[in-house]
Amino acid sequence: MKSTLQNLGFNIPPIDGGYFIWGKLPIGYTDGFKTAMNLYDQQEVATIPGEHFSTNAKSFLRLNIARPEEEIEEACKRITTFFNK
């Protein structure tokens, strides 16, 4: 998922392990809450807006990667479709 997000223009800070990817939205997207809602409404991919974790993270999303590989692959396809519209 990390490489998919980076290819779409997300800035992904270094990851030292865990079950989540924390990513800054691509250029042109500044509202993580609105983006998360639209991503779910249009592609049925659930994410958490960064503002739920910090007031300084309005342009971030958190994605859970503790899912079966098939679900991660499908989510990557749907996320790509959403950001390439």
CB-based contacts of 8-11 (< 8 A; 24+ apart in sequence): 8/79, 8/80, 8/83, 8/84, 9/83
Mean pLDDT by groups of 10 residues along the chain of 85 residues: 96 90 96 98 97 94 95 97 95
Task: State which CATH number among 3.30.530.20, 3.90.1150.10, 3.60.20.40, 3.90.226.10 fits the domain covering 2-83.
Answer: 3.90.1150.10
What's residue 74's pLDDT? 98
Secondary structure letter of residue 60 according to DSSP: E
What's residue 54's pLDDT? 92
- What are phi and psi for residue 23, nearest 5 degrees? -135, 135
What's residue 15's pLDDT? 82
User: Domain residues of the chain, as ranges?
Assistant: 2-83
Report field, pTM of the whole predicted structure over 0.85: yes
Supply 44's token pair: 């049925």
